[in-house]
Amino acid sequence: GENVEQHPSTLSVQEGDSAVIKCTYSDSASNYFPWYKQELGKRPQLIIDIRSNVGEKKDQRIAVTLNKTAKHFSLHITETQPEDSAVYFCAARLFTGGGNKLTFGTGTQLKVEL
């Protein structure tokens, strides 16, 4: 089955700096890669996603890049703000006959310091 590794497990940056979180996946057939943000005590919220036929996607301060050859994808947050502090999860989905199983990375605790 699919396996997703995520690094780093914790990340501390100064407000205004950039943050990068990296994930690798094992199954080359995976075709959909979402990123979720989970604040303490709240549900995971989808913040950006990318499909396997796209190399990069950007939404304001957030961008995701995908390297299918190397089987890794990354989340980039620019001009970080205190409200960006949360746990971020990457995930990969293997499309098998419409199946909707997401395999998650272990999460990155991002702390944006003033």
Query: Given the rule CB under 8 A, which residues bind another protein?
Result: 31-32, 34, 36, 42-46, 49, 51, 89, 91, 93, 95-107
In the block, residue with structure tokens 């390297």? 67
Closer CB to another protein, residue 78 or residue 95? 95
Closer CB to another protein, residue 80 or residue 91? 91
- Whether the CB-CB separation of 49 and 73 falls below 8 Å is answered with no
Closer CB to another protein, residue 20 or residue 32? 32
Closer CB to another protein, residue 43 or residue 83? 43
Tell me how far, at minimum, the Cβ of 69 lies from another protein, in Å. Answer: 20
| Spatial distance between the Cα atoms of 67 and 63, rounded to a whole number of angstroms | 14
Tell me how far, at minimum, the Cβ of 56 lies from another protein, in Å. Answer: 17
Tell me how far, at minimum, the Cβ of 114 lies from another protein, in Å. Answer: 27
Asked, as a colleague might, if the bond just before 8 is cis with ω within 30 of 0, I would say yes
Tell me how far, at minimum, the Cβ of 98 lies from another protein, in Å. Answer: 4
| Spatial distance between the Cα atoms of 39 and 18, rounded to a whole number of angstroms | 19
